[in-house]
Copies of this chain bind each other. A is one copy, B any other.
Amino acid sequence: MDIVNPSILSGFMELLPDEQKLFDEIKLTIEKNFIKYGFVNLDTPLIEKEEILLSKGGGETSKQIYRIDKESTPQALRFDLTVSLARYVAMHANELNFPFRRYQIGKVYRGERNQKGRYREFYQCDIDIIGNEKLDIVNDGEIPSVIYNIFSDLGLGEVTFRVNNRKLLNGYLELISVSDFESIMRTIDKLPKIGIEKTKLELEKFGLNSLQITQIFDFINLTELENTEILDKLLKIEISNDSYSEGLGELVKVYEYMKMFGIPEKNIKIDLTITRGLDYYTGTVFETFLNGYESIGSVCSGGRYDNLASNFTKQKYPGIGLSIGLTRLFYQLNDSKLLKKQEKTVSHNILVIPMNEEVLDYSIEVVNLLRNNDINSQIYLETVKTKKKFNYADKMGIKNAIIIGETEKQNNTVSLKNFDNGNQEELKLENLVEILNGGKYEN
C-alpha cells in the first residue's frame, strides 16, 4: 500500500498532549466562569446555510468563508458564533427565556492569509446577554466582570478594560459637523497602528478641515487623562446632541457598574479611540489588554448592539456580548512565555505498576479500588523491563506510583513511591484511599 505523508493543513493548530492539557485548563476556566455567572451553553451546527451566514451581505466575509462542496443547499462553515446566535434567537424566540444569557465555546473558520499567530480554525469563547425589545444598561457593566474573573483565575497578570461608547463619538462628530462617521471612525480606530501624522492625513482626505481635525484630536486626546477627569471634561462639552448625551450617560453608568461588579478602578480605562467593528456595535464597546503585553493586542472584545437578529426577524433583540479568541490567545501566551508551564506538565494520575504477571490480578484490584473512589489512575499493562515502566511514569510527568510486587500481593499492601523525592512506603491496602485523599500525598 502507498504511504501517504502524515501532515495537516497550514493555518491549523494541533497540540501535543502536554500543550493540549494547558489549553484545556484555560478553556475549562473560561467555561466554569461562564457557568458561574449564570450563562447557559449552546452548541449550534458548524455548518450553516450560506444565506444565513451571508445575510449581512458579502464583502470580506464572503471571500474568507469555507464553502462546502455539496450539490444541495449552499452551505459553509461558520466564521463566528454571532451569526448562529442571531439565527438561533430568531428561530427559537418563543421557547427562550429573556434576558437570554448564553455562552458558546466553539471552533470557527476563516480562510485568512497565512501569518504567524493567525489561524484558519480557531476557538471563540462568547458570552452574550440578549433582551427582548430592551436590555438594561447595567448588563454592559456586568459582562466584563466575567472576563475580569476569568483572567484572575488564569493567573496571567492584570488586564485593563478599555471602554468607550459609539453614540458618544457619533454625537461628537455630529456636533463638529462631520458627516461620514464610518470612514472617520475607521480611521480613528487605526490611530494606534498608523500614528498621529498619518491619521491626520487620512482625515484630510475625507475632506475634514483643520479645525475639525483639531477638534477630533482634542476629543480623543482626553483619553490621556484619568477616567473621572475624562468624564468631567466630556460633561462640560456643550451638549446639544441626543446621541452625545445618551452615549455619555451610558458610559458614566457602565463605568460605575463595572466597578460595582468588582472590577477595580485601576483595571478600567475610558478610551475614546476604541470604536470596534463599525457595522455592528451601537453603544458600549470594549477591548481588553494584558498589562505589560499590550502589543499582543486585545484578548477579549465586544460591545452592545441594538438589534442582534435584524436579518432574520422584525422583532428587536438588543444585546451585549464579549468574545475571547482562545486559539490566538493561547498562541500569544505561549509565544510571550506567559503560560504557567512547569518544566514538565504534572500528571495528576496515580500509576499502578505491576512488577510481573503474577501480581497483575492484585494490581488490577488496586486500580479498581482507586477508580471506584474517584482517584484518577492508570495501570501499566505491558510486559517490559522495570526501567521502561519507570521511564513511562517520568515522561508522563507522573508524581506518584503504586508499585506492586509479590511481597505486596502477599501482605495485602502496596508500595507508594514518590518520584520527586524518591521516597517509598509500604501501606496497607485498606488505608490507601484514605491516605491518598488525606492530602499527605499531593497528586
Q: Which residue of B lies closest to A374 (CB)?
A: B36
Contacts of A12 in B (CB 8 A): 45, 47
Instruction: Tell which of A48-56, A204-212, A231-239, A266-274 binds the partner.
Output: A48-56
B312, A95: Cβ atoms under 8 Å?
Answer: no
A90 beta carbon closer than 8 Å to chain B: yes
What is the bound-complex CA distance between A5 and B197, given in angstroms? Answer: 47
Q: Which residue of B lies closest to A314 (CB)?
A: B3
Chain B: minimal CB distance from A313 (Å): 7
What is the bound-complex CA distance between A15 and B43, given in angstroms? Answer: 8
What is the bound-complex CA distance between A309 and B46, given in angstroms? Answer: 28
B371, A36: Cβ atoms under 8 Å?
Answer: yes
A92, B36: Cβ atoms under 8 Å?
Answer: no
B45, A9: Cβ atoms under 8 Å?
Answer: yes
What is the bound-complex CA distance between A5 and B314, given in angstroms? Answer: 11
Report which of B2, B68, B97, B139 forms a contact with A395, defined as CB distance below 8 A.
B97
B68, A138: Cβ atoms under 8 Å?
Answer: no
A382, B99: Cβ atoms under 8 Å?
Answer: yes
What is the bound-complex CA distance between A24 and B39, given in angstroms? Answer: 14
Q: Interface size class for chain A?
A: 35 or more
Report which of B46, B47, B68, B142 forms a contact with A67, defined as CB distance below 8 A.
B68
Known pairs A14-B45, A66-B68; A136 contacts B371 (CB<8 A): no
Chain B: minimal CB distance from A86 (Å): 8
Report which of B17, B70, B107, B121 forms a contact with A42, defined as CB distance below 8 A.
B17
Chain B: minimal CB distance from A309 (Å): 7
What is the bound-complex CA distance between A95 and B395, given in angstroms? Answer: 10
A213 beta carbon closer than 8 Å to chain B: no
A249 beta carbon closer than 8 Å to chain B: no
Work out how many copies of this chain go into the complex.
2
Contacts of A228 in B (CB 8 A): none
B48, A99: Cβ atoms under 8 Å?
Answer: no
A7, B91: Cβ atoms under 8 Å?
Answer: yes
What is the bound-complex CA distance between A396 and B20, given in angstroms? Answer: 35
A102 beta carbon closer than 8 Å to chain B: yes
Contacts of A101 in B (CB 8 A): 378
A41 beta carbon closer than 8 Å to chain B: yes
Q: Which residue of B lies closest to A349 (CB)?
A: B38
Contact with B along A303-315 (1 / 0, CB 8 A): 0000001111110
Contact with B along A131-149 (1 / 0, CB 8 A): 1001110110010000001
A343 beta carbon closer than 8 Å to chain B: no
What is the bound-complex CA distance between A9 and B4, given in angstroms? Answer: 34
Report which of B15, B16, B49, B97 forms a contact with A7, defined as CB distance below 8 A.
B49
What is the bound-complex CA distance between A205 and B129, given in angstroms? Answer: 64
Chain B: minimal CB distance from A84 (Å): 9
B46, A3: Cβ atoms under 8 Å?
Answer: no
Contacts of A44 in B (CB 8 A): 8, 14
Contacts of A66 in B (CB 8 A): 47, 68-70
A261 beta carbon closer than 8 Å to chain B: yes
What is the bound-complex CA distance between A92 and B377, given in angstroms? Answer: 25
Contacts of A311 in B (CB 8 A): 1-4
Q: Which residue of B lies closest to A27 (CB)?
A: B43
Chain A residues with CB under 8 Å of chain B are 1-9, 12-17, 20-21, 23-24, 35-38, 40-49, 51-52, 55, 66-70, 73, 75, 77, 86-88, 90-92, 95-97, 99, 101-102, 107, 109, 111, 121, 131, 134-136, 138-139, 142, 149, 257, 260-262, 309-314, 349, 351, 360-361, 364-365, 368, 371-372, 374-379, 381-383, 392, 395-396
Task: List 15 other contacts, CB 8 Å, given A6-B86, A6-B313, A20-B42.
Answer: A3-B314, A7-B52, A7-B91, A9-B47, A9-B75, A12-B45, A14-B43, A16-B96, A36-B376, A68-B69, A69-B69, A97-B395, A142-B381, A149-B371, A260-B361
